[in-house]
Amino acid sequence: MDPEEILQITSTSDDQNPGWIQVNLAGKLSSDAAKWFRSEINRLLISGYREIDLDLSSLQYIDSFGLAELVPAYLGACEKKGTLRIINPRRLIRHILVSAHLDDVIEIGPAQEK
């Protein structure tokens, strides 16, 4: 299955804040899309973005493969002297992230009220 059918990745940047980008994930961050997610984050880092906000408000599902890609994405940003933050996770997604102790490594914003 095509990863783009499972996970949609869009981004928004701001000319007033060069180096910052918001990456919006929608759908499922699962084994079928995990490598594609990693390549997209790497592409943004290579393009010069150093401050990445991952907006998970439209992410419906994340599995262990998806979770496993978040740490390398964060470390990739750190290697470039940047950061990666998770913003607007749905309540269940935030619970999964915290249960996996990712909040010990990656800044995770409060749960979206839905």
Instruction: Look up residue 36 and give its two tokens.
Output: 């594609």
Sheet holding 83-87, edge to edge: 7-13, 20-29, 51-62, 83-87, 107-108
pLDDT tens sequence across 3-33: 667 999 999 999 899 999 999 999 999 999 9
Q: Is residue 25 a contact partner of residue 7, using CB atoms and an 8 Å limit?
A: yes
pLDDT at residue 111, rounded to an integer: 78
Length of the chain: 114
Q: Assign domain 3-108 one CATH number from 1.20.140.10, 3.30.750.24, 3.10.580.10, 3.40.640.10.
A: 3.30.750.24
- Which stretches in the chain have pLDDT values below 70? 1-4, 112-114
Half-sphere exposure of 80 (CA within 13 A, CB side): 22
pLDDT at residue 112, rounded to an integer: 66
pLDDT at residue 113, rounded to an integer: 62
Q: Is residue 36 a contact partner of residue 1, using CB atoms and an 8 Å limit?
A: no
Residue ranges in the chain assigned as alpha helix (H): 3-6, 34-46, 64-79, 91-99
pLDDT at residue 5, rounded to an integer: 77
pLDDT at residue 3, rounded to an integer: 65
Average pLDDT, the chain: 93
Instruction: Return the domain boundaries, the chain.
Output: 3-108
